Structure 1
Amino acid sequence: MHRVTHYRHAAEGIEAISLNSDRAFPRHTHDEFGVGVIASGTQRSWSGRGFVNAQAGDAIMVNPGELHDGAPVGTLSDRAWRMLYLSPTLVNSIAAQEGIDYVELAHPAVHDVRLTVAVDRLFARVVHGAAPLARDEALVMLVTSLLARHTHRLLSHAGPAPEIDMARERLDAAPAAPVTLAELAALSGVSRFQLLRGFAREIGTTPHAYQIQLRTRLARALIARGSPIVDAAAEAGFADQSHLTRAFTRQFGISPGRYALTLRAASGEA
């Protein structure tokens, strides 16, 4: 079973999504900070910080650009969860007022009742269209809760090796542009095998899978700006709309068509 029970693009920089799904999501990234609550069932997920299980009542978190996946655990083979995606600009602006220059969420999953209450409060105010003051208060309370107990103030590691960074920066700079493994390897000064092995070890996925994630996120941004899905697919580097639809649904749990509809509904166009 896979059901998107609610999806809404609300205030600038905040999105809310609620799903009930038995799907295993492949390794992917988001542009935003993600924080949510497992409503039922159990989920096992991987990130650069290892494997964790999250069960009903637990909060789950992910940083912008952090590779992660998610799969149901147990005989029921599904789980339900609510997620908030907060733009880095929003989070960092609140952190800056607290004298914090850098924000990195530290815990992929945690049992923290105060945090789950804060998530649910903001989620409800986004979904039900609360007054801006009420929504903003809930946002600040959630972010300050994260800053107080669930962030690193400094980078936890030095990052990928320079040759891997070069390949990733090339993919980041032009995700829609075609490129071969040989070209990435030549740019990085290593063999194709060394690049493939090092990229998978340090980034957590292959260069091609990483490129597909970037293209999917680019298409999502284009659709959000009003591009027709077929045009967004072509501009993002997909062979056709069906290829985008498969990648989009796997990564975000919702088809690009439905995503476009929810954006129009949120803006009052439908």
Structure 2
Amino acid sequence: MSAGQFLMQRSAIPGVQAVAACSSHAFARHTHEQFGIGVMRRGAQVSHSGRGQVKAGPGHVITVNPGEVHDGAPIGSALRAWQMLYLDLSVVADAAADIRQGRPQQYEFEHPAQDRPALARDVLALYAQATAGTSPLACDALLLRVLAQASVAQGIHPPPAPRPGVPASVRHALALIDDDPAAPLSLADLAAASDLSRYQVLRAISRVTGLTPHAYQMQRRLLLARRLIRQGAALADVAAMSGFADQSHMTRLFVRAYGVSPRRYAMAAGGA
């Protein structure tokens, strides 16, 4: 793979995206709606995650949980390369229920980066089999083994957008954004929904999500844009429906967060 390239590959497993990358791009803080697990193939990076700041080097297993705010930047001037699998919540839910015989506990990845050679081999084998179109039986067996090894808690309860334990007032403010990310909301709107002052709601949302209200809204708009692009909507329409000022505004934020333009993402998603 050439430098600066992001490649979304066809996956034989429904609900699983396969992405390979080789880049020096420094990602802005962003979130995913899926679970992500992969392996650093070469180079190294430092990243902030909901589980602390970590460094990952060659062979390390890297993970992200749904809704977890994270970023990533190369260590030094060298490129780093990785392969990631992004799993829909339903995929993990079904696998976790099988692993733990239906016990409804929350599933999450505990370590954002760890040196576990056996797990890394299984993740890379799953990536290779999924992208090569290997038999479902082989893919299913590896997927279960990977998730059984990688979890801290077993079973699954998909995390809501606001984390458990968030005060009701803040949940109301976040729900206002979540329900319609494209809406032109003001801090006064969020304050009214939460029965807090503008300063109180600003501090509360920043504390709960790790993002300012505006940054949180931009993240929700980016996630909406990704869904619309995967559904085949035209990019200009996606920008308008997602609440961006225009297509160039969407493109700038998209590249900062994901390292790839909406157009390239659309081309890759169309071939997935």
Contact persistence 1:57–1:111 (CA under 8 A): yes
Q: Give the TM-score, by structure 2 length.
A: 0.89
Tell me the equivalent position of 2:51. Answer: 49
The Cα offsets for residues 74-104 of structure 1, whole Å up to 9 and x where unpaired, read as 3x25322111100110011111122342212
Matched, 1:29 2:39: no
Q: Give, in whole Å, the separation in 1 of the partners of 2:66 and 2:156.
A: 15
Tell me the equivalent position of 2:64. Answer: 62
Q: 1:139 corresponds to which letter in structure 2? A: L
Q: Give, in whole Å, the separation in 1 of the partners of 2:132 and 2:54.
A: 32
Gaps of 5+ in 1: none
Contact persistence 1:43–1:73 (CA under 8 A): yes
Q: Give the TM-score, by structure 1 length.
A: 0.89
Cα displacement (A) at 1:152: 6.6
Tell me the equivalent position of 2:252. Answer: 246
Tell me the equivalent position of 2:150. Answer: 146
Contact persistence 1:41–1:55 (CA under 8 A): yes
Q: Give, in whole Å, the separation in 2 of the partners of 1:158 and 1:135.
A: 33
Gaps of 5+ in 2: 158-162
Q: CA separation of 1:162/1:60 partners in 2, compared to 1, >3 Å: closer, same or farther?
A: same
SS of equivalent residue, structure 2 residue 4: strand
Q: CA separation of 1:194/1:77 partners in 2, compared to 1, >3 Å: closer, same or farther?
A: farther
Q: CA separation of 1:151/1:35 partners in 2, compared to 1, >3 Å: closer, same or farther?
A: farther
Q: CA RMSD in A?
A: 2.2
Cα displacement (A) at 1:72: 1.5
Displacement over 4 Å in runs of 4+: 152-155
Matched, 1:103 2:107: yes
Contact persistence 1:4–1:253 (CA under 8 A): no
Tell me the equivalent position of 1:117. Answer: 121
Q: CA separation of 1:159/1:152 partners in 2, compared to 1, >3 Å: closer, same or farther?
A: farther
Q: CA separation of 1:152/1:142 partners in 2, compared to 1, >3 Å: closer, same or farther?
A: closer
Tell me the equivalent position of 2:83. Answer: 82
Q: Give, in whole Å, the separation in 2 of the partners of 1:105 and 1:264.
A: 29
| Aligned length, in residue pairs | 263
Cα displacement (A) at 1:154: 9.3
